[in-house]
Structure 1
Amino acid sequence: MSDNTAAAVPATVGVLGGGRMGAGIAHAFLIAGSRVTVVEVDAPAAEAAKERVESDLAKSLERGKIDGNLDVWTENFTVSVDHADFGDCELVVEAVPELWDLKVSSLQNVEANLREDAWLASNTSSLSIDGLAAELDRPERFCGMHFFNPVPASKLVEIVVGERTSQQLQDLTARWVAGIGKTPVTVKDAPGFASSRLGVALGLEAIRMVEEGVASPEDIDNAMALGYKHPVGPLALTDIVGLDVRLGIAEYLEKELGPRFAPPQLLRDMVERGELGKKSGKGFYDYS
């Protein structure tokens, strides 16, 4: 394997985690021409990831969202439960839940199975890239690649650059993001980066407004969608992201940046009740 700066996308990509985000990342690289391997924790999770990715590809093709050959994509897609199957990948993107210890152990396990000239990225939406890099043997070959949900429809990838991220990786990552048909924005490592910091601030204030009885979720979302041209309102977006995910990011930002990011009690209560948004069938809206 060589550092091929001419490549629009890596020939071989690995994704650790085949949930909603990981499946979306796999989808993006597959339709751009990469061979993709998704590694999951066990066989049932791997099979679920396979079905998720192949189903999303088929639906996108049927709806005319993408052009291509489904058979070629599925031939270029494999699932596994073995980190050693990342050994031939030029790039691996970690997409596991936003838990510090899990992120660190996952990245270390992936790095131990990579070739020395491979690149590693985290899809974290808020955790410190410098902090994660400090736990790795090759921090210069590591950065953040923050994809947005749902990945196939989103046009943005936030590239997060740590103090030790190489300039070569910055350049390659921007090229790869363009190669999968998305727009890169590059930010230095800081709590919440740019997107999560701003998005969470808006989302938390919207939740406080519901908590205080200022307006209904529908009216708050319509105010932002119609008045500010947001494609989706902050409460509907919280349902898409997951209330548990939003809570975890808010708690981290509160610790790093202060009480302005303190999670509203309503958010805590909804997570406690299992009202996590679309994935649970109920959040600020009912999806049942």
Structure 2
Amino acid sequence: MSYTLIQATDTPASATFAALLGHAVALAFAWVERRARDPMLPLGLFSSRPFSVANLASFFLYGGLAGLFFLMPIQLQVTAGYTTLAAGLALLPLTVLTLGLSARGGSLTKRAGPRVPLAAGALISGLALVLATRVGRDASYLTDVLPVVCLIGVGIPLITPPITVTVLSAVPDARAGIASAVSNGVARTAGLVIVAALPLLAGLPQNAASNPAEFDRGFDACMLICAALFVAGGLIVWFGVPRPAAKVPDEPICRHHIFR
């Protein structure tokens, strides 16, 4: 899928073949797993509405995050003129906030259930990406870049614990390991697919990084697309996750998994 999206413009014939081959392999995998005595991926997991909804929302939410994390450092260097070190340091408050608030996000999920924190985190992150369109050639770090970084640093701790809780609470304890693996796989797949799709959707050529004005235009379009992904993820959660809070494990959410 990623190859198809990346090469869709330059080599459409090979991209089409790759898409067909990928879909054929996916269908074959599902066919084998459905008939296997001990499947690697029990497809029955997806019969749980909370499990399926949480993973669908996870695709949109983590896809939006991947788009931001991939493009923001490039925007800061190519358009705003930051050095590589300065671009990395500019995003440091995001890491600090995420680590500092992760435990509070888990506590909020335990008290209120996953639905409200997930929707709030999605909307906060979506707002951050709309504000990210202000990051450009003459952007001020304090008024343009830092608000985006801080809002995302608040949004992530509201997203990750509820996703984990919803996924693990939707399956029997014996299936917790495979459920966690599926959730992580969805998050990784979202990053691959969305990052590959954004240049195509925004009309960015592969050499856009050599043209600051063109990259800036494409960056703005990509941020709005990612903001829409967050809104879509929030809506999926709000209307898809049942109102009664899922049973929350007593163990705290491990901070190691906050950047899944």
Whether the TM-score (by the shorter chain) exceeds 0.5 is no
* TM-score, normalising length: structure 1: 0.23
Bigger RCO (CA 8 Å, 6+ sep): 2
TM-score, normalised on structure 2?
0.24
